[in-house]
Amino acid sequence: MNVSLKRLSALSVIAGMTVLTACGANGAADQVTEASGASSAPSAAAPAAQSEPVTIEFWYGLGGKLGENMEALIQKFNASQQEVIVKGIVQADYTETQQKLQAAIATGTVPAAVLSSNVDWARKGYFAELDELIAAQPDFKPEDFIQTFLNQGKVDGKQYFLPMYGTTQVMYYRQDAFEKSGIDASQIKTWEDLAAAAEKMTVKEGGKTSVYGWEPMWGSGNMIDAVLSKGGSILSEDGKTVTIDSQEWIETWDLFRKWIHEDQIMRIHSGGQGWEYWYKTIDDVMKGQAAGYTGSSGDQGDLDFSIVAAMEQPGWAGVGEGKPVAEAIQAGIPAKASDEEKQAALKWLAYFTNSENTAFWSINTGYIAVRQSALEDPAFLSFSETNPQIKIPLQQASHASAPFQDPTGGKINDALKIAADKVQIENIPAAEALKEAQATAQAALDKVK
């Protein structure tokens, strides 16, 4: 679970918060009206009438314990008040959610809220602006949100999406594997250090690797993080040139190719349905077939921390600390939802992101809370004392890179995904894969510029 990232679980992660109670979201009863008219006796008064709650659909692509925790909060919200009923609709992953939303927008039959965001779609009017809806709720307190996360939901200065939780890719390792090989996790400061440790922990039998020293996650995300940590960029400062074929990119991606295909001290799982590749990677570590992996902060809800521990992504020798991306996983309200549904949807999103619930999500998934006040939540404070891994994503987010906003509507990101498959799966030299990707991405950028 990216960013995509990942499903998406807090899954470690992610973030900070304040008590956010949207109007009616904390159990306020519906207003009732008495029937008017004369009555000869008090006992003849008509019973109070109660308005029907608004039922809305909320689409989200989360599996495993992430999905279970989402459903738990939906049920908690539904029981907390009588104005809105949320019906959770589960998709396979973030990508399927967006694909189905695209089809729903085309037909005009949309959910009221969706765990998805798309800058290009917001500009096209597919998502509703949220500023007026937020302003109508005096207890919303946008200043309590972690501002880097809240700002990621703005498009051209207007709020279109709300951060539900934050995520960043951190490192999980088997404590017994590190101890057996005499490796001190606190001394792994660079990718060079990690590669040396991975080689030491790799087990080969008859020329074939049976235990891998490390498993990066399939896709461009992990390798982009490593490039950013080395000082690379996706676009030039003036935004006119795609720079994904620079030396920082080529050197970094070719090291991953070498570690996977030549040294065979690392491997990736790819393909499958939904998050299948992700869970296979986790299973390798939990079964002792790999010493560690790079995954989402949201994986923490699926991991056994009597076996594994967490650490930050490393930097590079001579460059400095790591600068991986820290990203907000956001939700939006489709523009074609009715006004009544939009108001109900914001009540649900506000409830999910209040201080208590964003702390709950972080504790149970590892994702970063989105409100600063969540750090003062008693349950979060108590949990962090005995579960130090919950702090790793927060520590990493303090020196992280902002997520890339693709000005081409996704074509640069698509070119990077194709190039990553060529390097990770097909063993094509990074220079060849990235130069081809740069040409494709530059052509797309030139069209929009």
pLDDT along the chain (449 residues), means of 10: 38 32 34 33 42 96 93 98 97 94 96 96 97 93 92 96 96 98 97 98 93 98 98 97 98 98 97 94 97 94 94 96 95 98 98 96 92 92 92 87 91 98 98 98 95
Pair 113, 174 in one domain: no
Whether residues 310 and 332 fall in one domain? no
Q: At 92, which helix (H) or strand (E)? A: none
pTM assigned to the model: 0.73
- What is the enclosing helix (H) or strand (E) of 122? helix 119-123
CA distance 236 to 214: 32
Q: Do 284 and 358 fall within a single domain?
A: no
My answer on whether 113 and 208 are in the same domain is: no
Whether 208 and 306 share a structural domain:
yes
Residue 142 lies in a domain: yes
Residue 1: per-residue pLDDT: 43
Q: Are residues 203 and 284 in the same domain?
A: yes
**Among 397, 414, 437, where does a domain finish?**
397
> How high is the pLDDT of residue 398?
79
**Domain presence at residue 134:** yes
In tens, the pLDDT along 59-111 reads 999 988 999 999 999 999 999 999 999 999 999 999 999 999 999 999 999 99
DSSP-derived letter for residue 230 is T
Specify the pLDDT at position 207: 84
Verify that 318 and 361 share a domain, yes or no: no
In a domain, 260, yes or no: yes
How far is it, in rounded angstroms, from Cα 401 to Cα 232? 11
- Residue-by-residue DSSP string for 41-106: SGGGPPPPEEPPPEEEEEEE---HHHHHHHHHHHHHHHHH-SSEEEEEEE-SSHHHHHHHHHHHHH
User: Can you read off the two tokens belonging to residue 240?
Assistant: 């006119």
What average pLDDT does the structure give for the chain? 89
Is 44 contained in some domain? no
Q: Let me know: does 352 contact 142? Beta carbons within 8 Å.
A: no
Cβ neighbours around 45 below 10 Å, total: 11
- Those residues with Cβ within 8 angstroms of residue 272's Cβ, 6 or more apart along the chain or in another chain: 280
Question: What's the CA gap between 328 and 369, in Å, rounded?
Answer: 10
Place of tokens 């993080």: 225
Q: Are residue 24 and residue 149 in the same domain, yes or no? A: yes
Tell me the CATH number at 26: 3.40.190.10
* Distance (Å, whole) CA 132 – CA 137: 9
Instruction: Give me the pLDDT at residue 430, please.
Output: 98
H/E stretch holding 373: none
Residues in the chain: 449
The distance of Cα 147 from the centroid of its chain, to the nearest Å, equals 16
For residue 23, the enclosing domain spans 13-31+51-167+327-397
Number of structural domains found in the chain: 2
Q: 70 in a domain, yes or no?
A: yes
The one-letter amino acid at 426: E
| 34's tokens | 């008495």
